[in-house]
Amino acid sequence: MATLLLYPELLAAIFLCLLFLCHWRWSKTRTITNWPLVGMLPGLLQNRLNIHEYLTWHLQRNGGTFEFKGPWFTDTNIVVTSDPMNLHHICSKNFSNYPKGPEFQEIFDVLGDGILNSDHDSWRYQRKLLQTFLKDNKFKLFFEEVVKGKVEKGLIPILDHVSSLGIEVDLQDIFQRFTFDSICLMVLGHDPNCLSIEFPEVAHFKAFDEVEEGLLYRHFVPERWWKLQRKLQIGSEKKLSHAMKVLDEFIYECISTKREELLTIKKEELKFNLLTAIVMEHQEGEMSSNITKSNKFLRDTTANLLAAGKDTISAALTWFFWLVATHPSVEAKILEEIKEHLLDNRKSKDLNIDELSKLVYLHGAICESLRLFSPVTLSLKCSVQSDILPSGHSIRPNTRILNYFYAMGRMESIWGEDCLDFKPERWISKRGEIVHVPSFKFIVFNAGPRSCLGKDMTFIQIKIIASAILWNYRVQVVESHPISPNTSILLQMKHGLKVRITKRFV
């Protein structure tokens, strides 16, 4: 060893040979190299720009589960899985052993103590509360009115405008504006009017994107590092704090306006939205004595609902429209189906929820697009006690587990050899009904007691928007435009979706 130290060139040559051997072994076996000291981090960093494909490939090669080893002494090992039986076990069968855990709660501090960020009794209470409101008929009617109103007064005028000018437009941006306006209306009773021909810059709309960027960064750097940055208010943490402040100001202002409204307007005259419903519940219910303290509760609850419903639906819409625009035979079948249900020359926006539920092929196309491009790419859990997963992997207490949704939609073992093809027919039975796939296989909306509370809402919203656009306009993707997913937890298109729009009926 001492001789080697005398010849640094020899040491460097040996190091290079080792590097070459490791790379050669990796390219032959395609297993992630576990380097001394730095673990599997170099491979992850090298592939950070196509991280979803990279992890999916390794999951396929490793039977759906592998342990990612982080750098030594950093406590960043993590079990990554896309095995349906593991997911069934983690999300349902042994649910109580796999809460989100304290690390999740620290990273997602912007969500406060809201439903997405809580465990145990607090989660249970909020889930029951929200379930009551979201299932209420009043909410369903209000929701339909909001979405249809936005289509008529926001979406159609913009698409008419860009089609008359013949200009390219970013459909993803339009969908993000649409979903932000509609979720703010549903949750806060306030319309930020982001969806308008002027494409206005709205501070809290932008702040949401900045928060998502900042949270992603926290996943990649060691915890100590981002916490230090937060303490010193430098780098991405400074930007994140500012964005969180903008968001908080917006939400707290909506809460105080709502409280004033409740004091001045008669109960019967109040317009329905979730914030009003929750405040009323608090005033009339057992928590009335805590009313003055509950601004934080209202902030957390509404912030969580905005986060849950904003970019999830816009991401789903963007990938759906890209797939349909690039698969003309699918588009033709959807149009045929809409035509069948548009008796007496009504406009597509007049289809009510019951009629929309009859659009089976459209439903299949939406499921297929969600399968291939799961808007929520992953979910993090942390074990309480030791356990053995159905795949045979041992779990120690405090093991971090990453349920990797993106890969699940692309596993040959689940969907067959044509798993990468866009085939809405996959979802339709011989009798013309939707094929039921258990949620631990079609994991897009999570499975078990923590499954998504907005699933039905999502399908209805996408169907209303999809039928309105496809029936009235041709959407053509700009040829040279690059299409690739970003590297975020929410699967947006990295460069947006540039399209040209033309009217079908002039």
Residues forming contacts to ligand HEM in the complex (CB under 6 A) are 115-116, 127, 130, 305, 308-309, 312-313, 316, 375-376, 379, 444-446, 450, 452-454, 457-458
Cα gap 405→372, rounded to integer Å:
10
Q: What is the DSSP track for 206-229? A: HHHHHHHHHHHHHHHS-HHHHHHH
Helix spans in 265-310 (H): 274-284, 295-309
Q: Which SS3 state, helix, strand or coil, does residue 103 take? A: helix
Please report how close the Cβ of residue 164 comes to ligand HEM at its closest, in angstroms: 31
CB nearer to ligand HEM: give 39 or 404: 404
CB nearer to ligand HEM: give 250 or 442: 442
How far is C-alpha 25 from the geometric centre of its chain's CA atoms? 35
CB nearer to ligand HEM: give 41 or 87: 87
Cα gap 185→272, rounded to integer Å:
10
Report yes or no: 361 and 334 within 8 Å, Cβ to Cβ.
Answer: yes
Please report how close the Cβ of residue 240 comes to ligand HEM at its closest, in angstroms: 20
CB nearer to ligand HEM: give 56 or 118: 118
- Cβ-Cβ contacts under 8 Å for 501 (sequence gap 6 or more): 159, 162, 163, 169, 473, 474, 475, 476
Q: Which residues pair with 428 in a beta bridge?
A: 434
Please report how close the Cβ of residue 143 comes to ligand HEM at its closest, in angstroms: 9
CB nearer to ligand HEM: give 409 or 496: 409
Cα gap 10→452, rounded to integer Å:
58
Please report how close the Cβ of residue 318 comes to ligand HEM at its closest, in angstroms: 11
Tokens matching residue 220: 């990649």
Q: Is 367 annotated as belonging to a binding site?
A: no
CB nearer to ligand HEM: give 66 or 123: 123
For residue 140, how many other CB atoms are within 10 A of its CB? 15
Please report how close the Cβ of residue 22 comes to ligand HEM at its closest, in angstroms: 35
Please report how close the Cβ of residue 209 comes to ligand HEM at its closest, in angstroms: 17
Report yes or no: 305 and 274 within 8 Å, Cβ to Cβ.
Answer: yes
For residue 146, how many other CB atoms are within 10 A of its CB? 20
Cα gap 202→191, rounded to integer Å:
12
Cα-trace Rg, the chain: 25
Position with the least CB separation from ligand HEM: 454
Q: Which residues pair with 76 in a beta bridge?
A: none
CB nearer to ligand HEM: give 162 or 320: 320
Please report how close the Cβ of residue 305 comes to ligand HEM at its closest, in angstroms: 5
Residue ranges for the binding site for heme?
Answer: 452
The binding site consists of 452
